[in-house]
Structure 1
Amino acid sequence: MKKAYIIGILMIVAGIGYLISATSDVSTYANFSDAKSNSKVKVSGFLIKNKPIVYDPNVDANLTTFFMEDQKGESMKVIYQNSKPQDFEMSESLVVTGKLENDIFYASDILLKCPSKYKDQEVMLRKNE
Protein backbone atom coordinates (compact mmCIF):
# COMPACT_ATOMS: atom_id res chain seq x y z
CA MET A 1 0.00 0.00 0.00
CA LYS A 2 1.11 3.53 -0.63
CA LYS A 3 1.99 5.81 2.26
CA ALA A 4 -0.68 8.30 1.18
CA TYR A 5 -3.43 5.67 1.57
CA ILE A 6 -2.18 4.67 5.01
CA ILE A 7 -2.05 8.30 6.15
CA GLY A 8 -5.55 8.89 4.76
CA ILE A 9 -6.97 5.87 6.58
CA LEU A 10 -5.31 6.95 9.84
CA MET A 11 -6.78 10.44 9.48
CA ILE A 12 -10.27 9.01 8.91
CA VAL A 13 -9.95 6.74 11.97
CA ALA A 14 -8.71 9.69 14.07
CA GLY A 15 -11.66 11.81 12.88
CA ILE A 16 -14.15 9.10 13.78
CA GLY A 17 -12.53 8.73 17.19
CA TYR A 18 -12.75 12.48 17.76
CA LEU A 19 -16.45 12.55 16.82
CA ILE A 20 -17.23 9.67 19.17
CA SER A 21 -15.43 11.33 22.07
CA ALA A 22 -17.15 14.68 21.37
CA THR A 23 -20.63 13.16 21.38
CA SER A 24 -20.04 11.37 24.68
CA ASP A 25 -19.70 14.75 26.43
CA VAL A 26 -23.08 16.06 25.24
CA SER A 27 -25.50 16.36 28.13
CA THR A 28 -29.26 16.58 27.92
CA TYR A 29 -31.57 19.44 28.91
CA ALA A 30 -33.58 18.72 32.01
CA ASN A 31 -35.10 20.35 35.06
CA PHE A 32 -33.97 19.88 38.66
CA SER A 33 -36.28 16.94 39.31
CA ASP A 34 -34.95 15.13 36.21
CA ALA A 35 -31.37 15.88 37.28
CA LYS A 36 -31.76 13.53 40.25
CA SER A 37 -31.69 10.50 37.98
CA ASN A 38 -29.08 11.64 35.45
CA SER A 39 -25.37 12.09 35.80
CA LYS A 40 -24.72 15.30 33.84
CA VAL A 41 -27.46 17.59 32.57
CA LYS A 42 -28.13 21.13 31.42
CA VAL A 43 -30.77 23.03 33.37
CA SER A 44 -32.31 26.17 31.93
CA GLY A 45 -33.86 28.68 34.28
CA PHE A 46 -33.67 32.02 36.04
CA LEU A 47 -31.51 33.52 38.76
CA ILE A 48 -33.46 34.11 41.97
CA LYS A 49 -32.35 37.67 42.66
CA ASN A 50 -33.94 38.05 46.11
CA LYS A 51 -31.80 35.21 47.54
CA PRO A 52 -28.10 35.70 48.30
CA ILE A 53 -25.43 35.43 45.65
CA VAL A 54 -22.23 34.52 47.47
CA TYR A 55 -18.94 35.41 45.81
CA ASP A 56 -16.03 36.69 47.87
CA PRO A 57 -12.73 36.68 45.96
CA ASN A 58 -10.85 37.40 49.21
CA VAL A 59 -12.04 34.12 50.71
CA ASP A 60 -12.22 31.91 47.57
CA ALA A 61 -11.98 33.40 44.09
CA ASN A 62 -13.15 30.13 42.55
CA LEU A 63 -16.47 29.73 44.36
CA THR A 64 -19.83 31.24 43.45
CA THR A 65 -23.05 30.17 45.16
CA PHE A 66 -26.53 31.25 44.12
CA PHE A 67 -30.13 30.08 43.86
CA MET A 68 -31.82 29.29 40.58
CA GLU A 69 -35.36 28.44 39.47
CA ASP A 70 -35.82 25.99 36.59
CA GLN A 71 -38.48 26.18 33.85
CA LYS A 72 -40.96 24.21 35.99
CA GLY A 73 -40.62 26.53 38.99
CA GLU A 74 -38.43 24.35 41.22
CA SER A 75 -35.65 26.28 42.95
CA MET A 76 -32.31 24.94 44.05
CA LYS A 77 -28.96 26.05 45.42
CA VAL A 78 -26.22 26.04 42.79
CA ILE A 79 -22.50 25.87 43.51
CA TYR A 80 -20.19 26.96 40.70
CA GLN A 81 -16.49 26.21 41.24
CA ASN A 82 -15.29 29.27 39.36
CA SER A 83 -15.42 33.04 39.58
CA LYS A 84 -18.73 34.84 39.16
CA PRO A 85 -19.42 35.69 35.50
CA GLN A 86 -19.49 39.33 34.50
CA ASP A 87 -22.99 40.89 34.52
CA PHE A 88 -24.31 37.78 36.29
CA GLU A 89 -27.07 39.65 38.14
CA MET A 90 -28.29 41.29 34.90
CA SER A 91 -28.86 38.01 33.04
CA GLU A 92 -32.34 37.23 31.74
CA SER A 93 -31.84 33.49 32.00
CA LEU A 94 -29.17 30.89 32.74
CA VAL A 95 -28.20 27.47 31.49
CA VAL A 96 -26.11 25.54 34.00
CA THR A 97 -24.35 22.29 33.16
CA GLY A 98 -23.50 19.89 35.95
CA LYS A 99 -24.92 17.31 38.30
CA LEU A 100 -27.16 17.15 41.33
CA GLU A 101 -25.79 15.77 44.60
CA ASN A 102 -27.52 15.95 48.01
CA ASP A 103 -30.08 18.54 46.82
CA ILE A 104 -27.34 20.91 45.62
CA PHE A 105 -26.60 21.40 41.93
CA TYR A 106 -22.86 21.50 41.21
CA ALA A 107 -22.36 23.47 38.00
CA SER A 108 -19.31 22.98 35.80
CA ASP A 109 -20.42 25.57 33.20
CA ILE A 110 -22.76 28.54 33.11
CA LEU A 111 -24.21 30.12 29.99
CA LEU A 112 -25.83 33.53 30.48
CA LYS A 113 -28.49 35.10 28.33
CA CYS A 114 -28.05 38.79 28.88
CA PRO A 115 -30.58 41.46 27.94
CA SER A 116 -30.20 42.71 24.42
CA LYS A 117 -29.01 46.26 23.99
CA TYR A 118 -31.51 46.51 21.11
CA LYS A 119 -34.50 45.32 23.14
CA ASP A 120 -35.84 48.84 23.87
CA GLN A 121 -35.45 49.79 20.21
CA GLU A 122 -37.43 46.73 19.14
CA VAL A 123 -40.24 47.65 21.49
CA MET A 124 -40.27 51.21 20.18
CA LEU A 125 -40.48 50.01 16.57
CA ARG A 126 -43.47 47.84 17.40
CA LYS A 127 -45.26 50.72 19.06
CA ASN A 128 -44.79 52.94 16.00
CA GLU A 129 -46.05 50.36 13.52
Structure 2
Amino acid sequence: MKKSSIILIAIIAVAIAMILVIYTDSSTYSTFTEAKEKNTELYVVGVLNKEKALHYDPITDANHFSFYMYDNDSTECQIVFRGSKPQDIERSEQIVLTGKMEGQIFHASKILMKCPSKYNQDQVEIIESTASVAF
Protein backbone atom coordinates (compact mmCIF):
# COMPACT_ATOMS: atom_id res chain seq x y z
CA MET A 1 0.00 0.00 0.00
CA LYS A 2 1.05 3.54 -0.64
CA LYS A 3 1.85 5.87 2.24
CA SER A 4 -0.91 8.25 1.16
CA SER A 5 -3.51 5.44 1.37
CA ILE A 6 -2.38 4.48 4.87
CA ILE A 7 -2.52 8.11 6.01
CA LEU A 8 -5.99 8.53 4.48
CA ILE A 9 -7.26 5.40 6.26
CA ALA A 10 -5.79 6.63 9.54
CA ILE A 11 -7.46 10.04 9.15
CA ILE A 12 -10.82 8.40 8.40
CA ALA A 13 -10.44 6.10 11.43
CA VAL A 14 -9.66 9.07 13.70
CA ALA A 15 -12.65 11.00 12.32
CA ILE A 16 -14.98 8.05 12.95
CA ALA A 17 -13.60 7.65 16.48
CA MET A 18 -14.16 11.35 17.20
CA ILE A 19 -17.75 11.18 15.96
CA LEU A 20 -18.44 8.15 18.14
CA VAL A 21 -16.97 9.84 21.20
CA ILE A 22 -19.03 12.97 20.62
CA TYR A 23 -22.31 11.06 20.24
CA THR A 24 -21.75 8.64 23.10
CA ASP A 25 -20.61 11.41 25.44
CA SER A 26 -23.48 13.75 24.63
CA SER A 27 -25.86 13.83 27.54
CA THR A 28 -29.58 13.39 27.33
CA TYR A 29 -32.11 14.58 29.84
CA SER A 30 -32.40 12.41 32.93
CA THR A 31 -34.78 12.18 35.84
CA PHE A 32 -34.14 12.51 39.56
CA THR A 33 -34.44 8.74 39.89
CA GLU A 34 -31.63 8.23 37.35
CA ALA A 35 -29.58 10.93 39.09
CA LYS A 36 -29.87 9.00 42.37
CA GLU A 37 -28.61 5.83 40.67
CA LYS A 38 -25.69 7.48 38.90
CA ASN A 39 -23.03 9.49 40.68
CA THR A 40 -22.19 11.70 37.70
CA GLU A 41 -23.24 15.15 36.53
CA LEU A 42 -26.48 14.95 34.55
CA TYR A 43 -29.04 17.18 32.87
CA VAL A 44 -32.48 17.09 34.47
CA VAL A 45 -35.43 18.91 32.91
CA GLY A 46 -38.63 19.80 34.68
CA VAL A 47 -40.90 22.50 36.05
CA LEU A 48 -40.78 24.61 39.18
CA ASN A 49 -43.08 23.57 42.03
CA LYS A 50 -44.82 26.91 42.55
CA GLU A 51 -46.73 25.66 45.60
CA LYS A 52 -43.54 25.50 47.70
CA ALA A 53 -41.50 28.52 48.70
CA LEU A 54 -38.22 29.53 47.07
CA HIS A 55 -35.47 29.98 49.65
CA TYR A 56 -33.03 32.81 48.95
CA ASP A 57 -31.68 35.14 51.61
CA PRO A 58 -28.93 37.34 50.15
CA ILE A 59 -28.14 38.83 53.56
CA THR A 60 -27.36 35.45 55.15
CA ASP A 61 -25.78 33.75 52.10
CA ALA A 62 -25.97 35.36 48.67
CA ASN A 63 -24.69 32.16 47.03
CA HIS A 64 -27.35 29.76 48.30
CA PHE A 65 -30.66 29.34 46.50
CA SER A 66 -32.97 26.37 46.97
CA PHE A 67 -36.33 25.39 45.55
CA TYR A 68 -38.42 22.35 44.63
CA MET A 69 -38.92 21.06 41.11
CA TYR A 70 -40.79 18.25 39.33
CA ASP A 71 -38.95 16.27 36.64
CA ASN A 72 -40.59 14.76 33.54
CA ASP A 73 -41.69 11.73 35.60
CA SER A 74 -43.45 14.08 38.09
CA THR A 75 -40.90 13.22 40.79
CA GLU A 76 -40.35 16.13 43.15
CA CYS A 77 -36.89 16.96 44.46
CA GLN A 78 -35.24 19.74 46.41
CA ILE A 79 -32.68 21.70 44.38
CA VAL A 80 -29.73 23.59 45.84
CA PHE A 81 -27.91 26.06 43.61
CA ARG A 82 -24.67 27.63 44.83
CA GLY A 83 -25.27 30.99 43.22
CA SER A 84 -27.70 33.86 43.29
CA LYS A 85 -31.38 33.40 42.53
CA PRO A 86 -31.97 33.63 38.77
CA GLN A 87 -34.19 36.52 37.77
CA ASP A 88 -37.77 35.57 36.81
CA ILE A 89 -37.45 31.89 37.78
CA GLU A 90 -41.07 32.07 38.92
CA ARG A 91 -42.15 32.81 35.32
CA SER A 92 -40.20 29.91 33.82
CA GLU A 93 -42.09 27.39 31.73
CA GLN A 94 -39.34 24.80 31.96
CA ILE A 95 -36.04 24.47 33.83
CA VAL A 96 -32.97 22.48 32.75
CA LEU A 97 -30.51 21.75 35.55
CA THR A 98 -26.93 20.53 35.29
CA GLY A 99 -25.70 18.84 38.45
CA LYS A 100 -25.78 15.68 40.54
CA MET A 101 -27.58 14.14 43.46
CA GLU A 102 -26.05 14.15 46.92
CA GLY A 103 -28.35 12.15 49.15
CA GLN A 104 -31.92 13.31 48.55
CA ILE A 105 -30.92 16.79 47.30
CA PHE A 106 -29.96 17.68 43.73
CA HIS A 107 -27.02 20.10 43.67
CA ALA A 108 -27.21 22.19 40.51
CA SER A 109 -24.12 23.79 39.01
CA LYS A 110 -26.08 25.42 36.17
CA ILE A 111 -29.68 26.51 35.65
CA LEU A 112 -31.18 27.11 32.22
CA MET A 113 -34.67 28.59 32.23
CA LYS A 114 -37.09 28.68 29.34
CA CYS A 115 -39.39 31.62 29.93
CA PRO A 116 -42.18 33.06 27.82
CA SER A 117 -40.90 36.02 25.84
CA LYS A 118 -42.25 39.37 26.93
CA TYR A 119 -42.16 40.65 23.34
CA ASN A 120 -43.51 37.81 21.18
CA GLN A 121 -46.14 35.41 22.48
CA ASP A 122 -45.00 32.55 20.21
CA GLN A 123 -41.32 32.70 21.20
CA VAL A 124 -39.51 31.38 24.26
CA GLU A 125 -36.76 33.33 26.00
CA ILE A 126 -33.81 31.28 27.36
CA ILE A 127 -31.91 32.48 30.45
CA GLU A 128 -28.83 30.68 31.84
CA SER A 129 -27.32 30.92 35.33
CA THR A 130 -24.05 29.35 36.42
CA ALA A 131 -22.98 28.64 39.98
CA SER A 132 -20.12 30.75 41.27
CA VAL A 133 -18.64 27.91 43.33
CA ALA A 134 -17.59 24.64 41.67
CA PHE A 135 -18.12 21.28 43.36
Q: TM-score scaled to structure 1, two decimals?
A: 0.71
RMSD over aligned CA atoms reads: 2.3
Tell me the residue number matched to 1:67: 68
- Could you tell me whether the CA contact under 8 Å between 1:27 and 1:40 is conserved in 2? no
Q: 1:26 to 1:82 in 2, by over 3 A?
A: farther
Q: TM-score scaled to structure 2, two decimals?
A: 0.68
Gaps (5+ residues) in structure 2?
1-17, 124-135
Gaps (5+ residues) in structure 1?
1-18, 122-129
Task: Confirm or deny that 1:119 pairs with 2:101.
Answer: no
More helix by share: 1
- Could you tell me whether the CA contact under 8 Å between 1:28 and 1:40 is conserved in 2? no
> For residues 77 and 26 of structure 1, what CA distance do their matches in structure 2 show?
25
Aligned residues: 101
AA aligned opposite 2:77: M
More strand by share: 2
AA aligned opposite 1:34: E
Task: Confirm or deny that 1:80 pairs with 2:61.
Answer: no
Q: C-alpha offsets along residues 37-70 of structure 1, whole Å, 9 cap, x if unaligned?
A: 2211000000001101000100000000000000
> For residues 50 and 85 of structure 2, what CA distance do their matches in structure 1 show?
14
Q: 1:92 to 1:47 in 2, by over 3 A?
A: same
> Rg bigger for which structure?
1
AA aligned opposite 1:110: I
> For residues 120 and 109 of structure 1, what CA distance do their matches in structure 2 show?
26
Q: Percent identity?
A: 47
Q: What is the Cα deviation at residue 119 of structure 1?
A: 1.6
Q: C-alpha offsets along residues 78-104 of structure 1, whole Å, 9 cap, x if unaligned?
A: 000000011111111100110011110
> For residues 79 and 106 of structure 1, what CA distance do their matches in structure 2 show?
5
AA aligned opposite 1:86: Q
Q: What is the Cα deviation at residue 27 of structure 1?
A: 4.1
Task: Confirm or deny that 1:90 pairs with 2:91.
Answer: yes
Question: Segments of 4+ in structure 1 off by > 3 A?
Answer: 25-28
